Structure 1
Amino acid sequence: MPLVASCQDKKPNIVIIYVDDLGYGDIGVNGAIGVKTPNVDELAKNGLNFTDAHSAAATCTPSRYSLLTGSYAFRNKAQILEGDAPLIINPKMATLPKMLQKAGYKTGVVGKWHLGLGKGKIDWNKRIGPGPEEVGFDYSFLIPATGDRVPCVFMENQKVVNLDKNDPITVSYGARIEGYPWGFQHPELLKQHTDPYHQGAIINGISRIGYMKGGKNALWVDEKIPFVLSKKATDFINKEKDNPFFLYFSLHDIHQPRTANIKFVESSSMGPRGDVIAQMDWCVGQITKTLKSQNLLENTLLIFTSDNGPILDDGYVDYARELVGNHKPGGKYRGSKYSVYEAGTRMPTIVHWPKKVKAGKSDALISQVDLYASLAKLLHQTVNKNEAVDSKNVLNAWLGKSKKGRKFLLEEAYTYGLRMGKWKYIQPKNKPVPNWIVQKFVNPGFSKQVQLFDLEKDPSEKINISKDFPKIVKKMEKELARILK
């Protein structure tokens, strides 16, 4: 009898599948047109599908920072990092994986990192620290930054994989270095053409941000990335199957450059962007099949979500805008990646834990910044005052036991948005939209005037009603000032 009881009380495994640039409307269950996502839809069918769940920010590095630290990114001035930036999480800081280690979990991160590595100038030919291990991960297999930036190599436990010591790696952001040819000089070598920002080193027929030489044997092949990452993630599950484990599986898809494997080419009607959505869905299937084969799926808390809203044109010419058809990446919501409007942070979010979470839908207002405090509550871990300062325990909302999530929810972009129930407030921004955002066909939500929307009546944020509800505006201004202070 005691053995049965201990099995029933066993801590759940925790898996976060963190997709890149996937919009609210980019999965089948949320209305996708032109691409099928059967594995994600199966999670939603047997799990809890959230309609008002948010990343902390409308860009990647800030969202990842907030997820792992329980702290808003603006507190550390976290912005999109170059590929050779130092680690932006202080190794002395409490983090989600460190908290889970204290709770008895083996922790692993596989995929896109983009939180910086090391302290200063990086020597890519040695172990680089601090990094994932110093912030709480027992195992790491990384894309060190992101796919459109050098170095184009994998790192396992903070060392470059397959590096030949006779062919050392040098990376430069700014000063051009001889090595791999440059996109602006050799457009004939490119599989995809790019904007002016992505015309550095050409690797695997794709020009990147930054310059690189050396490391030929270590270079990744973009079309194989989903298979490499999925294999490393499932290997981690198989290895740790007898321990409670935490896996942060951070996909590169559907970020540009979108280079689908031949297995997925023309699997959608939307060209490369749709094809890599199908590819992403396959990766999800690899995780769920592995959990099922190890009899772990029932007692695994699996959270599927994205780091920020969708973007069609983000540097590479793959005709996503021309081929999108009737598909709406952000669903009925206005905005995109880089934007303070709802689609910038309102994420497809599914919680799947058959043992504890009933299938259905939830309109609870929740943020990824709250995962730290909520999981700490689940596992009876204490969160001290100076830890995860912005994270709130809304565990009952995450598990579908309550529709009550956050009273206020911050949305970080290039200005600030604040949610309170149906109300959406946007802080005025008396600055022109940067040209690099204009070139991406993005409306970041800048306005010299206060903006207020009733999302129940106006989910597309078209009608500014700030003058009609001065008390609501004043209340939300006061709360935003308190958060920012």
Structure 2
Amino acid sequence: MPISRKKLFSRSLLSILSLLVLASLKLAEADNPEAERPNVVLIFLDDGAFDDFAPFGNPRYPTPHVETLAKEGRSFYSFYVPQAICSASRAALLTGCYPGRTKVFGAHGPKARGLDPKFATLGEVLQQNGYRTAAFGKWHIGDQEDTRPHNRGFDETCGLMYSNDMWLHHPENPEYWGQWPLQYWENGEVTIDTVQIEDQKMLTTWYTEQAVDFIERSKDEPFFVYVPHSMPHAPIFCSDKFAGKSETGLYGNVMMEVDWSIGQIHQAIKDQGLEANTLFIFIASDNGPWLSYGDHAGITRFREGKGTSFDGGLRNPCIIKYPDEINPNTISHHAFSSIDILPTVCHLTSTDLPENTVDGKNVWDLITHQDEAKNPHDYYAFTNGKEFQGVISGDGKWKLHLPHQYRTVAKGGKGGMPGKYVQAKIDTALFNLVHDPYEKSNALEIYPEVAQQMIEYAEKHKKMFFDE
């Protein structure tokens, strides 16, 4: 039956009205940049291990919240930090710069200068783009007035300025560390002058409660919340609600509480209806486990641990969730580094990069597995303390160690007391991380062309940052 002119007119009018509505919505979005900018949650553990959580490892304690996050996001098995020591790793994450550029090496103590303010943090660049920002946890990249987090781009803060073992109950050198009280800070003020055992037990809970509260209060504007947990850095503690829960010892209890924390923060995002527009990043550690602490440290399948340049120190899993952009319940073996987080987040949030030079690059195409996406880096460099020790190819396939000494555990500790390290040495070595991820077989003479290319990368990096 032919359609009447009246009906045709009505349909045309509806189409025109629909187009006008869509156009007005587009204009509204253009006038309201907050509608397009995702929230960012970044969780970073301290001295964790590759196999601490399922689905990456098979721990004897449950970690359901990390498993849920993995099912709803993408798990990255080749995520690297440029140095396996606390302060250097944290500065690299928040600036996108190598330790060789910022000169933040090793682990800084109380009252240390830390990160030079000329290097912008992720908090500062997002704050300048209209984000509400917060940092709840262990800072450890500066303990002077202008280098603490409340002056480095974070609107709200709480936590420790340095590692939780730098206190009067240090198992090996309490007289030295007792010179400075381990303080708990909130928004630029000391609220606990001398942290004690009962306070340590509450750190994970306090950071979590602050993060959840911040999310609830910030739901109507774009926000960035950074949660660098103090645990499971020794000495390890958990709250009473997790004491004995794992039935595997204190380390299991601690990891169950950290898993709970991740779940609480993740659920807060869902409860506020923010899931679709939130980039959720969970990095399982700033470096590998502190192996000398034995039963108070995690387990990594890779060689060595914290304080070394083997993959047991530099490599830990990462989960990234961003609905509609990242396919859920997927796994990636593409390599990328913590120095890439800042430029990638800046890309996704339409935020200008800092004025200072940034070494990391936008790897969003790699994270989202775009067709033919390749890592934009020729190599990633790694250091230990102030010593440049080698490079990893951008595709994560090859790793070159320059000659250096490293520590290895001679006897593991027990019950919170550290064991003993001895010194070992590695000469120039090339490892194929695809076929030899545990760095056992030196392939230097088998692949001379690859070795030559990697040596050239190393020489280039050394000339840029260490030949002064």
- What TM-score results when the alignment is normalised by the length of structure 2? 0.81
In structure 2, the partner of 1:307 is: 286
In structure 1, the partner of 2:320 is: 351
Bigger share in helix: 2
Pick one of 186, 202, 223 that aligns with 1:224: 202
Distance in 2 separating the partners of 1:334 and 1:137: 36
Provide Cα deviations, 1:164-197, integer angstroms capped at 9, x if missing partner.
Answer: xxxxx7xxxxxxxxxxxxxxxxxxxxxxxxxxxx
Structure number with larger C-alpha Rg: 2
Provide Cα deviations, 1:109-144, integer angstroms capped at 9, x if missing partner.
Answer: 1000111221xxxxxxxxx44421332112211212
Distance in 2 separating the partners of 1:432 and 1:376: 36
Counterparts in 2 of 1:424 and 1:434: CA distance versus 1, 3 Å: closer
Distance in 2 separating the partners of 1:434 and 1:312: 9
C-alpha deviation, 1:397, in angstroms: 1.6
The answer to whether the Cα contact below 8 Å between 2:281 and 2:318 also exists between their aligned partners in 1 is yes
Q: Mapping of 1:105-184 within 5 angstroms?
A: 105-118=131-144, 128-150=145-167, 151-161=181-191
In structure 2, the partner of 1:319 is: 295
Correspondence 1:365 to 2:368 = no
Distance in 2 separating the partners of 1:113 and 1:457: 37
Residues 43-52 or 84-93, more deviating: 84-93
In structure 1, the partner of 2:70 is: 44
In structure 2, the partner of 1:427 is: 402
- Partner SS, residue 30 of structure 1: coil
Letter in 2 for 1:156: E
Counterparts in 2 of 1:9 and 1:235: CA distance versus 1, 3 Å: closer
Correspondence 1:413 to 2:379 = no
In structure 2, the partner of 1:252 is: 230
The answer to whether the Cα contact below 8 Å between 2:108 and 2:141 also exists between their aligned partners in 1 is no
The answer to whether the Cα contact below 8 Å between 1:335 and 1:444 also exists between their aligned partners in 2 is no
Distance in 1 separating the partners of 2:368 and 2:45: 21
- What TM-score results when the alignment is normalised by the length of structure 1? 0.78
Distance in 1 separating the partners of 2:304 and 2:325: 34
Computed over aligned residues only, the root mean square deviation of the Cα atoms, in angstroms, reads 2.7
The answer to whether the Cα contact below 8 Å between 2:104 and 2:115 also exists between their aligned partners in 1 is no
- Partner SS, residue 483 of structure 1: helix
Letter in 1 for 2:81: S
C-alpha deviation, 1:242, in angstroms: 0.8
Counterparts in 2 of 1:413 and 1:81: CA distance versus 1, 3 Å: closer
C-alpha deviation, 1:482, in angstroms: 1.4
Q: Mapping of 1:270-419 within 5 angstroms?
A: 270-305=248-283, 306-314=285-293, 319-320=295-296, 329-331=299-301, 333-359=302-328, 360-383=330-353, 387-401=356-370, 404-405=374-375, 406-414=377-385, 416-419=389-392
The answer to whether the Cα contact below 8 Å between 2:242 and 2:254 also exists between their aligned partners in 1 is yes
The answer to whether the Cα contact below 8 Å between 1:91 and 1:134 also exists between their aligned partners in 2 is no
Residues 418-427 or 392-401, more deviating: 392-401
Kindly tell me the number of residue pairs found equivalent between the two proteins: 411
Structure 2 residues not aligned, in runs of 5+: 1-20, 168-180, 413-417
Distance in 2 separating the partners of 1:58 and 1:445: 17
The answer to whether the Cα contact below 8 Å between 2:74 and 2:332 also exists between their aligned partners in 1 is yes
In structure 2, the partner of 1:475 is: 453
Letter in 2 for 1:417: G
Letter in 1 for 2:77: T
The answer to whether the Cα contact below 8 Å between 1:95 and 1:135 also exists between their aligned partners in 2 is yes
C-alpha deviation, 1:356, in angstroms: 2.2
Structure 1 residues not aligned, in runs of 5+: 119-127, 164-168, 170-202, 206-219
Letter in 2 for 1:33: P
Pick one of 34, 38, 45 that aligns with 1:19: 45
Q: Mapping of 1:191-210 within 5 angstroms?
A: 204=196
The answer to whether the Cα contact below 8 Å between 1:339 and 1:444 also exists between their aligned partners in 2 is no
> Aligned residues: percent identity?
30
The answer to whether the Cα contact below 8 Å between 1:358 and 1:400 also exists between their aligned partners in 2 is no
- Partner SS, residue 468 of structure 1: coil
Distance in 2 separating the partners of 1:76 and 1:280: 30
C-alpha deviation, 1:441, in angstroms: 5.5
